[in-house]
Amino acid sequence: MPDTIVTPNPWQALRQFTAARIALGHTGVSQPTSAQLDFQLAHARARDAVHLALDTQALRTDIEAVWPGIGPCVQLHSAAANRNVYLQRPDLGRRLDDDSRAALAALRPSAPAMPPYDVAFVVADGLSSLAVAQNAAPFLQVVRARLLQEQWLVAPPAIVLQGRVAVGDEVGELLGANMVVVLIGERPGLSSPDSMGLYVTWAPRVGLTDERRNCISNVRPAGLRYDEAAGRLHYLLAEARRRGLTGVELKDETSGSVELAGEEKRNFLL
């Protein structure tokens, strides 16, 4: 009498290399009960990540703790009034509401001799508030160590509720920043409800499209680690400032100096 009624898959050994649902085995013509329950749990976590409200006060405290002196975080809101509107009207998630635009006007350097900000960091909940709640502050702590060595002029960070990637363009434009980096919760996967994406845009302004941005994806401890992501971001920021551009004309060429997990070296963005 066998210990289990599950028929193992001959590829089961490969599961140690991936969180993907491969080689689950079967019971008759069906999935094993444990695999089916795991799937339902992952799906529930993904749905929770989409609808979980971002605790902005906690995030603000975390960011200001890991980056002393960056200035108080400014809390903003997109033109999407609530989560339901945000999910149904992507266009509203790309623009700020009136109160947020007024709040940013006070932060823009006004003295003629004061240079514009080199970079503005924008944290938006996107489709997973869980992702930015867990990853934004510790990632910025690693980035801070790199930028401080080069005396970058960094704008006070902004936290945007119900925000999509393009909302960073309006934030950067109103702040008069040369560049904007948007940290945003990515669409949850069934094994990754906590993935954070980074989007870098030179000369941000309302109306830009995605070919003007560079993206670094899957930033989290179980994905692209903070130090690796910070290295790639630092490279893109430095090259964007030197060449005055981002997007399709700026390639990530850090593959020769950054090791990815598992000792394999490859270009993440290609």
8 A C-beta contact, residue 196 and residue 136: yes
Q: Can you give the pLDDT at residue 70?
A: 87
| Residues contacting 34, CB < 8 A, separation 6+ | none
- Please state the rounded mean pLDDT for residues 22-48: 90
Computed over every residue of the chain, the mean pLDDT equals 90
Q: Can you give the pLDDT at residue 21?
A: 84
DSSP 8-state assignment for residue 26: B
pLDDT at 121 over 90: yes
Distance CA 134, CA 131 (A): 5
* Residue 81: alpha-carbon gap to chain centroid: 22
CB neighbour burial string for 101-136, b if at least 16 within 10 angstroms, e if fewer: eebbeebeeeeeeeeebbbbbbbbbbbbbbbbbbbb
- Please state the rounded mean pLDDT for residues 52-65: 95
Q: Which of 61, 190, 196, 49 is nearest to 132 (CA)?
A: 196
182 pLDDT tier (thresholds 50, 70, 90): very high
Q: Can you give the pLDDT at residue 2?
A: 59
pLDDT at 26 over 60: yes
Q: Can you give the pLDDT at residue 255?
A: 67
Binding site as annotated, residues? 165, 186, 215
Q: Can you give the pLDDT at residue 261?
A: 42
- Please state the rounded mean pLDDT for residues 102-110: 82
Binding site as annotated, residues for adenosylcob(III)alamin? 165, 186, 215
* Residue 247: alpha-carbon gap to chain centroid: 17
- Please state the rounded mean pLDDT for residues 61-80: 94
Q: Can you give the pLDDT at residue 270?
A: 41
Q: Can you give the pLDDT at residue 76?
A: 97
213 pLDDT tier (thresholds 50, 70, 90): very high
